[in-house]
Structures are given as structure tokens and as C-alpha cells.
Amino acid sequence: MNVLILTDFSAQAYNAARYALNSTSGPSNFYVLHASNGEAAQMDEALSELVGKLKKQPAAKQHCFSALPFSDNLINATRKAVIEKRIDIIVMGASGKNTSNFQGLGGNTCNVVKKVKCPVLVVPNCDFEQWEQLYLPLDLRFPVNTQALQLLQKLPVTENVSLNVWEFDLNNSGANIEDFKSVNYELHRQTLKKESDFLDKFWPEANAKANLIVFFARQLHITEKLLNRLSTVGKRKQNLPVLILHG
């Protein structure tokens, strides 16, 4: 896999970078990107130091690393890197130095999720745990392309991994998504009828059992509710990484 790590040199970004080393199922190419209009020499030095630290991690032995300094804004730089390096997935922290008013979610993270058409793994301040319980909420009012789920085949999951699909039929249409054939996981599905069930039923179970939450960027209302929960600070620790797919 080709993995793009975005960094602003914050502690949260470094934790996400460390987490990323475990997020592939085999030897991979890691590109560490920082975009800035600051002094080029300082940016190069800081990136080289970060790459050196990552290479010393136990999980780094099978991987290759490259630094990608960009004198540009983050969105343009990320888009260019995704195309030029044929990136499969972007990894970044849930928050960083630039924090928006969106319930503590990093402004850069929010922009990349919404503006760059590439899967994004958003990592809060947590350590890596083997992925064995994946939770996927879907709003049946908005169609998605489940072929995007093929990326899951490249992820480091356990042998008996489960994909728990929660389908929200808010219009009582009786519809469901039939095509999950691209995912060779143990599939569990249930249908809910009320929007309040997202936070009242889905979130408590996902927070207790999930190792990873997966959803589609097209369903932005779910995206924002979940990222809001993920980034809430103070009352309780949120430790669930989120994989955002475009499809």
C-alpha cells in the first residue's frame, strides 16, 4: 500500500503517524507530508527528523519512508501527493495545532476529510489495537458505492473480523443495501428507524465494542455527528479511529 501521513509536527500528528505503521497488512510505502509557506530548510530538517523517529519504531522494519515537504496549502499539497504517489489511504490525527470551532476537531482534518477524494484514517490519541470489530453506519436515504469497501481487504484485520452494518431507514422505505460481496468478513446487519438511534443505540455499542468505525464521506450528517463525538474532550476519553471512504 501507499500511505500518506499528514503532519503538523504536533503530538497528535506523531501519534497518528505511529499508529499508521500498523495500519497495513504488509510492506508499504509511507510518505510523510508537511505543507507550509515557512522556511524550506527548517521544514526539510523537521520532516527528516520525524521520518528518522518513525524508522526506529518496531513496526517500521518492513516499510519504506519518504519525506514530502510542500510550499503550498495543505489541501493542494495533499491532492498533488495523492495523484503523484498513487496514495491508497491518508492518515492524520483527529486534532492538531490548528483546531476549529467544530467541537475541537482539527480544522485541517475536517478540510481534508471533506475536500480530498481519498480514504482518510482519522486517529485520536490512542494506541493501535488489532481490528476485529468494524462498525459501519449507513443512512439508506443517500446511496453509496459499496465497492469502496474493497479497501478493507488491505487492512490488518484479525482472522475472524466482523463488519457490523447499521442501516438507518429513516423514511421507513424497507430498503437495504444488498451488495456487500466485496467484503469477505463476517457480516452482521441491523436496521434502525429513528435518527436519535444513532447516538442512543449505535454509538454506545460502537464505543464499547468497535476497534474501527467506517463510514462514507458522502453521508456528511453522519460524518459530523461521529467526528463530533470522536473529538469531544473532557468528560471521557474517545479512543476510536475512524476510516472515511469516498464512494
Are 142 and 63 contained in the same domain? no
In the prediction, which pLDDT does 99 show?
A: 46
143 and 241 within one domain: yes
Q: Is residue 212 located within the same domain as residue 144?
A: yes
Predicted confidence at residue 235, as pLDDT, reads 41
> Which domain-ending residue is among 75, 99, 123?
123
CA distance 166 to 139: 9
Q: Are 84 and 110 found together in one domain?
A: yes
C-beta pairs of 36-44 under 8 Å, 24+ apart in sequence: 36/69, 36/70, 36/71, 37/71, 37/72, 40/69, 40/71, 43/69, 44/69
Among 81, 85, 97, 11, which residue's Cα sits nearest to residue 53? 11
Number of independent structural domains in the chain: 2
Share of the chain above pLDDT 90, in %: 40
pLDDT in tens, 178-210: 666 656 788 888 888 887 888 788 888 988 999
Contact 243, 213 (CB under 8 A): yes
Same domain, 99 and 24: yes
Domain shared by 157 and 178, yes or no:
yes
Q: Are residues 141 and 233 in the same domain?
A: yes
**pLDDT of 229:** 56
pLDDT in tens, 98-146: 444 333 345 778 789 889 999 999 998 888 888 889 999 988 887 777 7
Note the pTM of the prediction, 2 decimals.
0.87
Q: Is the dihedral of CA 228, 234, 239, 241 positive or negative?
A: positive
Range of the domain at 191: 131-245
The kind and range of the H/E element at 80 are helix 74-84
Does 47 share its domain with 158? Answer: no
Q: Which of 13-17, 125-129, 168-172, 213-217 has the highest mean pLDDT?
A: 13-17
> What's the CATH number where 228 sits?
3.40.50
Query: Does 117 share its domain with 46?
Result: yes
Q: Are 114 and 172 in a shared domain?
A: no
**Which CATH number does the domain housing residue 107 bear?**
3.40.50.620
Residue 94 has pLDDT above 50, yes or no: yes
Asked if 56 and 23 sit in the same domain, the reply is yes
Domain boundary among 123, 149, 171: 123
* Residue 239 near residue 209 (C-beta atoms within 8 A): no
Give buried/exposed letters for 60-82 (b at 16+ CB in 10 A, else e). Answer: beebebebbbbeeebeebbbebb
Find the mean pLDDT for residues 72-95.
94
User: pLDDT per residue over 21-55, tens digit each?
Assistant: 988 888 999 999 999 887 778 889 999 999 999 99
202: which 3 cell numbers?
Answer: 449505535
Last residue of a domain, one of 66, 93, 123: 123
Residues 21 and 119 in one domain: yes
Which residue matches cell numbers 463488519? 163
